[in-house]
Structure 1
């Protein structure tokens, strides 16, 4: 990617501490006033028959009006623990499974399950429940913003990340996610065999940019190189930068992964 593929700011707001979103495709930098961002994570799998309704819901949440004028920032994580059920999910990653296991520990669950939604890192529920999603977003949007992030290109063409307003000494991690929209898969095996599944905001890459525990002035700065893989579509990519509490190592508890029926509401 060259510097001519400059990132244009879409929004900047807070997730847990702070979040900012860029698009990797050219767009007008002028837009509506900044809205409070609420991150909605979906843990899903193409091998789980209960997941397609949740995948569809995540896509609708981003474009639908939300309580308090919230801007929903979707992150669709594909886990890998259902890949033995007759279909290999090409978007799945053990790293995304580990992230869900962290939430299983945080929420004191028996283990991970799909589909699962997590709103702003603090509320979880069956990912196909539109009612619970709307209610969770409404609760999250009233949380005060605690910090501000600024993203730009450095002279070297790297993404420059600046965070200010953080609580000095507070433990946390600055995270970067690259997502891709408008993806679909014709499933040839497993529970969803014969169906075409559509996905939005699929997380293609997730990495830690830095730790916050040693900050004394409430500021964090770093640079990151963004290197799209050959089969990623530039026009459908976004970069999300957010701060989360320090993660803890976790393992799923018995009885292990579950795939509950899709919620009805």
Structure 2
């Protein structure tokens, strides 16, 4: 395992009902218990949170310093802040889903674009079909289920793309994906994100103009750039498929009030690339749900 032509009519794999997405000390998405349709797999719903309040294994925490330092009056937006950060495209996929390879192929065409941060999250609810996806995690199933709750959907599907935290595309929708990215790129966000540093040691500066009306969560994502997998069993048995930007870790590192200019120190171990994502929270029934992605940048 490496470490470091699409049909207009697609049969979409129907997934399981819904799970959890975490803020530090706050759970996203356990606001209701929608029932899975009869055709959904009977695998146990994910119980593991996608993003955890503690520091992930791939990050070093300096015990002598707070992770987040409020820098009121000292941090200001840079004059060279771009008109728009890259648009985050999340692909929920599985090696056990027969409808996913065309979406994986489409996703590959966005993996190296500067204006897009393409992240593939492999879910685990198709593992029961005879092939356990080595990249699949319950945490990623939980994140997809949280998005479904935010959209008031009762089921999840693979393949599915979420653009900018808000636009959901089920199946292979090549033209719709282009439109969604273009639409979100045309809207300037109030959050200014500046990343400095290199070689695993970074500093992230956050500010908002105007200030946000609600807090946001700051997340660090690690991913494997590529892998080629020979699938031996299940619905895709006999295929060898190339995968790109495979998410390996997704963790919350801070809850930001969206008002105070803030400096965050990020230390990364290992060679997997990293991404910073600032995401809004939508009101849920007792707990918040994942909302619009307000800013994103690469740690490189």
TM-score past 0.5 threshold: yes
List aligned pairs for 1:64-143, cutoff 5 A. Answer: 71-143=115-187
From 216, 232, 245, give the equivalent of 1:201: 245
Distance 2:147 2:175 in 1: 21
Q: RMSD of the TM alignment (CA)? A: 2.6
The Cα shift of 1:190 comes to 0.5
> 1:221: which partner in 2?
263
Question: Unpaired runs of 5+ in structure 2?
Answer: 1-80, 290-300
Aligned length: 204
Query: What CA deviation, in whole Å up to 9, does each residue of 1:141-200 have, x standing for no partner?
Result: 11113222222349x963322212262552210011112222111111100111111111
The question of 1:158 aligning with 2:201 is answered: yes
From 274, 277, 281, give the equivalent of 1:242: 277
Query: What CA deviation, in whole Å up to 9, does each residue of 1:25-76 have, x standing for no partner?
Result: xxxxxxxx95731111100001101111111111112457xxxxx7111010
List aligned pairs for 1:34-53, cutoff 5 A. Answer: 36=84, 37-53=86-102
Distance 1:142 1:89 in 2: 36
Question: Unpaired runs of 5+ in structure 1?
Answer: 1-32, 65-69, 229-233, 252-265
Query: What CA deviation, in whole Å up to 9, does each residue of 1:63-99 have, x standing for no partner?
Result: 57xxxxx711101000111111101111111111111
Quick check: 1:102–1:250 contact (8 Å CA) kept in 2? no
